[in-house]
Structure 1
Amino acid sequence: MTLAPERTTSTDSTATGPLPSTENPNMPAPGTVNSRLSVTSAEPRPQRPEFKKSGRPNPAAHLTPEQIEEIGHELDAIRAEVMESRGASDAAYIRKVIKTQRYLEMGSRAALLFSGVKYKGVRPFWWIGTAGLGVSKILENMEIGHNVMHGQWDWMRDPKIHSTAWEWDNASPSSQWKHSHNEIHHTFTNVLGRDNDLGYGILRVDEDQKWTLFYLFQPIWHVANAAIFEYSIAAYDLELGGYLAKRKRLSDEDKAEFRKNAQEVVAKIKRQATRDYVLHPALAAATFTGSTRHTLTANIVANLIRNVWTNTVIICGHFPPDIETFEKTSIEGETRGEWYLRQMLGSGNIHGSKAMHVMTGNLSHQIEHHLFPDMPSNRYAKIAPKIRDLMERHDLHYVTGSLPKQVASVYWKVVELSLPPKREGTTRRATILRAAKRAIKGKGGQGRRY
């Protein structure tokens, strides 16, 4: 049996919450966004090998199939306990966050109307407005948009806070993001060749990814990617790279579908650019104390703050050392317990203050999020000790660290893995020179693997 995502149905009230209310029968059932695995093995799975095909140790080799399924049952129980207890306090939490974000954005944009005012050589309204706008964009993208579109709040039956209706302040249209993120990444987490989030197609972030000359320059575009992250994600969700690589082989229908999706992305970017870079700077110019130029730069900096922060949080949850990757063949016939195991081993956390957790969209609890992507984000901190205890009892590494530690480890990893692996009888420099010569001669050095 091949692994396949299966959407939950509205008849499973434990997994998805209450059934649709008679007051709004057309509202989609909760839990219909996140692909949930409900597969089980008809026959016991064999014991996991001690080593992967690459020769690296298998961190779950010591677990028997029965132990893995027992882990799955324990995680199912944790999930059920939380999902059945969702209520007024959870709803109040997300409504408070949304209200705070909207007031913060309005206040920040109001402050920027006076961005031209100078006091003792400083423009205080520019600094206040820029900082506030940057924080509001982070809140909207992380704790609100990302989590709403995961279906975490669908159970509330509020059409304004529903995964099918939310459109976020980001270059990528929500429908395209939900497909690439919810349906593909969260199903095939860290599976080489199946999960495109593993380096986003431009980074080598694991030793089991084959090296090519292309990766030699990844430290440069890793930093550049952080600055324009929302646009990189839009291109990624659009599958722009894949389209350009195989467009000559695509059917007319596939090309038409790509053009349709591309038009959606362009339209979304135009709306955002008009609001941030035309409308609000023009409003500032209409005030005698405002400044088109200063309001424009404030919006640019606020978007830059959001992009860099979002990129930082995501790389810390997916790319630090000790986070595992998996081969395609290893997920054939995968049980629910094994899917849970893969989520735990393929994610990493950031420890910090409550404010930091909110600013990360609670993706600082990336392990818990990958286990239960449609669980309300405010519950992750409460279940984290249980998840850590479960993993430690089964001798599984619970990857976590401070934000500076996780960021530094990822950046070092990006630099280290930009170089070819060490081989007996040759040097890294020799490998790079051979690849460069082949590229210059037009013999496919860019795509050759080492």
Structure 2
Amino acid sequence: MAITQVAVYAHLSPEDVEAFGLELDAIRRDIEERRGTKDAAYIRRTIGFQRILDLTARLVIACSSTKRGWLLGTAALATAKSIENMEIGHNVCHGQWDWMNDPEIHSSTWEWDMAGVSAQWRYSHNYRHHVFTNVIGIDDDIGFGVIRITRDQQWHPRSLLQPLQNLLLAATFEWGIALHGLYSEHERAADDAEKSAQTKAFLGKIVRQAGKDYLLFPVLSGRRWRRTLTADISANVLRNLWAYVVIFCGHFPDGAEKFTPEAIEDETKPEWYLRQMLGTANFDAGPVLGFMSGHLSHQIEHHLFPDLPSNRYAEIAVRVRALCDKYDLPYTTGSLPRQYLLTLRTIHKLALPDSMLLATSDDAPETSSERKFGPHPATAVDAPAGRRGLRTALAERAGHRRIRRAKAVES
């Protein structure tokens, strides 16, 4: 099923894992030493641009009388909301800009423009997800409690409905994230009074958020209130769909591995780095697509360094890819359509019970473990010359599979 021995799966010796971690630590130190005025100017410029875009979009929606004006305003508003959520809110709440000591742009004070409470999200996401990435039974982001995304999650008859549940989650993603954060807070609450306080904060945020989008702005539009209301609803749905696609493409394509709780027992920092590398995936993006995704097109780099400024991920990625080449590790990436189609394949396939699936639970595109390589996988120490890591092992296994399939066809 899921990976239990991360270093063994990666075909790296303990010495290699330690050296790998030290090189990543060096990258972190270098970025921390060089971040400064330009980075601060970047986030302030981004916040200013987003607020101007949001205001302009609302004015276009309210003041124009044509369908084209409504479409343009709605698209601009959806873009502004996506930037606020992805490049600003998500990254500010990760503490990427805390070093600036600016009380307005700080993880402890930022409240983002969506239904969930930022403080509740920070616990479920920054701690439960980022510390225990893809650990079965601990990281609740594996399918967000409604999607069976690995064979390590038990199949139930309701799983047959998950293609439809996936569509519903995509359209209402901000509400799913909001409830996800609340449930995480309830799980760690010491008593009913603490649960009640978290629920009150949650409901208060919903009232403020829904009141702003679905009451205040429509009322300010006067007789055109329906125009504004439908624009706000549409912009929120478009933002939800985009955030859903970005998040799912960073965590659920083939190559984003899952881990058993045993995998993190006595886990060292280098081993944590390695798990993050193996458990996430990127998608190819230029400057505009990267910006619109909150630079989560570099999900691997984000999981390695979640609190480093997002505008640095592209340059970090060059060095991380070089490390992957050095240690013969896969760097999981692909075009956005490809990564999403792979994710959809997993979602639809795992709606079915395991008895109807072809690959084994240790050697499937979406679920694999060190057992796929046999009882004693080779490591760098075993390699006769040079370093033989996971990338080579996976390529060899894929080659052997192709040969077996060809022979089966011939026979």
Q: Where does 1:120-199 land on structure 2 (aligned, <5 Å)?
A: 123-199=67-143
Q: Residues of 2 paired with 1:65 and 1:402: CA distance? A: 33
Determine which of 190, 195, 202 is the counterpart of 1:258. 195
Q: CA deviation at 1:414?
A: 0.1
Identify the residue that residue 241 of structure 2 maps to in structure 1. Answer: 308
- TM-score where L is the length of structure 1: 0.76
Identify the residue that residue 53 of structure 2 maps to in structure 1. Answer: 104
Residues 272 and 57 (structure 1), Cα distance of their counterparts in 2 relative to 1, 3 Å cut: closer
Q: Residues of 1 paired with 2:255 and 2:349: CA distance? A: 15
Q: Residues of 2 paired with 1:237 and 1:417: CA distance? A: 25
Residues 99 and 390 (structure 1), Cα distance of their counterparts in 2 relative to 1, 3 Å cut: same
CA contact 1:312–1:407 (8 Å) conserved in 2: yes
Q: Residues of 1 paired with 2:305 and 2:276: CA distance? A: 9
Residue 296 of structure 1 pairs with residue 226 of structure 2 = no
Q: CA deviation at 1:71?
A: 0.4
Identify the residue that residue 68 of structure 1 maps to in structure 2. Answer: 17
Q: Residues of 2 paired with 1:305 and 1:58: CA distance? A: 40
Counterpart of 2:145 in 1: which secondary structure? coil
Q: Residues of 2 paired with 1:55 and 1:383: CA distance? A: 28
Q: CA deviation at 1:266?
A: 1.1
Q: Residues of 1 paired with 2:158 and 2:95: CA distance? A: 37
Q: Residues of 2 paired with 1:201 and 1:214: CA distance? A: 12
Q: Where does 1:218-233 land on structure 2 (aligned, <5 Å)?
A: 218-233=162-177
Amino acid at match of 1:306: R
Residues 56 and 414 (structure 1), Cα distance of their counterparts in 2 relative to 1, 3 Å cut: farther
Identify the residue that residue 280 of structure 1 maps to in structure 2. Answer: 217
Determine which of 371, 394, 399 is the counterpart of 2:332. 399
Q: CA deviation at 1:386?
A: 1.1
Residues 346 and 57 (structure 1), Cα distance of their counterparts in 2 relative to 1, 3 Å cut: closer
Counterpart of 1:310 in 2: which secondary structure? helix
Q: CA deviation at 1:55?
A: 10
- The runs of at least 4 consecutive aligned structure 1 residues that moved more than 2 Å come to 52-61, 207-210, 240-243, 253-256
Residue 417 of structure 1 pairs with residue 350 of structure 2 = yes
More helix by share: 2
Q: Residues of 1 paired with 2:164 and 2:106: CA distance? A: 38
Residue 355 of structure 1 pairs with residue 288 of structure 2 = yes
CA contact 1:114–1:126 (8 Å) conserved in 2: no
State how many pairs are aligned: 358
> Identity, % of aligned pairs?
49
Q: Residues of 1 paired with 2:130 and 2:158: CA distance? A: 27
Q: CA deviation at 1:209?
A: 2.3
Residues 213 and 319 (structure 1), Cα distance of their counterparts in 2 relative to 1, 3 Å cut: same
Q: CA deviation at 1:260?
A: 1.5
Identify the residue that residue 95 of structure 1 maps to in structure 2. Answer: 44
* Structure 2: unaligned runs, 5 residues or longer: 358-411
Identify the residue that residue 297 of structure 2 maps to in structure 1. Answer: 364
Amino acid at match of 1:155: W
- Cα deviation, 1:67-102, whole Å, max 9, x if unaligned, reads 101100000001100111011111111111100000
Q: Residues of 2 paired with 1:351 and 1:240: CA distance? A: 32
Identify the residue that residue 362 of structure 2 maps to in structure 1. Answer: none
CA contact 2:86–2:292 (8 Å) conserved in 1: yes
Identify the residue that residue 11 of structure 1 maps to in structure 2. Answer: none
Q: Residues of 2 paired with 1:55 and 1:147: CA distance? A: 31
Over aligned residues, Cα RMSD in angstroms?
2.2
Q: Residues of 2 paired with 1:55 and 1:65: CA distance? A: 15
* Structure 1: unaligned runs, 5 residues or longer: 1-51, 244-249, 425-450
Q: CA deviation at 1:53?
A: 6.9
Q: Residues of 1 paired with 2:208 and 2:275: CA distance? A: 39
More divergent stretch after superposition (167-176 vs 414-423): 414-423
CA contact 2:62–2:221 (8 Å) conserved in 1: yes
Q: Residues of 2 paired with 1:378 and 1:57: CA distance? A: 30
Determine which of 267, 272, 283 is the counterpart of 2:204. 267
Q: CA deviation at 1:57?
A: 10
Q: Residues of 2 paired with 1:410 and 1:60: CA distance? A: 22
Counterpart of 2:346 in 1: which secondary structure? helix
